[in-house]
Amino acid sequence: MIHSSPLIELKNLTKTYGRGQAAMQALCGVNLEIEAGEFIAVMGPSGCGKSTCLNILGCLDTPTTGSYLFQGWEVGTLSRDQRARLRRHYLGFVFQGFNLLSRTSALENVELPLIYRGIPAGERHRRGQAALEAVGLLGREHHTPSELSGGQQQRVAIARAIVTDPAVLLADEPTGNLDSSRSREIMELLCRLNRERGLTLIMVTHEPDMADYARRVVHFKDGWVEIDSRRQDPV
């Protein structure tokens, strides 16, 4: 029987900031395997290392020691340019603060990653429209962020994250700035993208009711994985 390797594998991962007496260890030997198509909620108190781990997964930071394998490739051996290409072609990001360009339309915000890829304008428009349709915002493509609700702005941010067809979506507190009703809408959207597109979803959250949507919950404590549990029946 052939066993495929995990999409992501972390082995004895550590991260230390500073030196000497000022050194602070954010990660203390994290071991984690993530299969393609999983929906994982990462939880834990502030300062436990979950956001540091997410930054390393997103190639926004590098570990001090240990190994990070993505599709079998050792990310630690990649150059800065190679890590940037990995981010651009395989990873999508959603943040708590939306991070939209305020004077730019929803469609133009969504097209931005495609500009960095050098995609021609016609193809950018087509893919941008399709991404907005996927998040339920067709007809709002010419609205600026100030003309959209918080929930709609986060939908634009999700459309921007998926327009490149990434293998992994990394979401850092995606419902942190939303009320409970809009939060449920965003979580249902993320669940649908995970289910229908097979998109691997890794979400940091402080909110247990948002984590309930995930099939797997990883709890961090003091820089390491304390609990790694799976659910048969998420929300």
Inside any domain, residue 2: no
CA distances from 32 to 4, 135, 194, 207, 225 (A): 16, 30, 20, 22, 8
- The share of the chain scoring above pLDDT 70, in percent, equals 97
Inside any domain, residue 159: yes
Nearest to 143 by CA among 154, 153, 133, 130: 153
Q: Which two tokens stand for residue 142?
A: 């010419």
What per-residue confidence (pLDDT) applies to 234? Answer: 67
Domain of 19, in residue numbers: 8-230
Inside any domain, residue 39: yes
What per-residue confidence (pLDDT) applies to 29? Answer: 94
**What total number of domains does the chain contain?**
1
* pLDDT (tens digit per residue) in 39-74: 999 999 999 999 999 999 999 999 999 999 999 999
Inside any domain, residue 1: no
Inside any domain, residue 89: yes
Whether 2 shows a pLDDT value over 50: the answer reads no
Inside any domain, residue 3: no
Whether 235 shows a pLDDT value over 80: the answer reads no
Write the DSSP string, 110-124.
Answer: HHHHHHHTT--HHHH
* Residue 129: pLDDT band with limits 50, 70, 90: very high
Whether the model clears a pTM of 0.85, i.e. scores above it, the answer is yes
Mean pLDDT of 216-226: 95
For position 175, which CATH number holds? Answer: 3.40.50.300
* Residue 76: pLDDT band with limits 50, 70, 90: confident
Inside any domain, residue 32: yes
Inside any domain, residue 19: yes
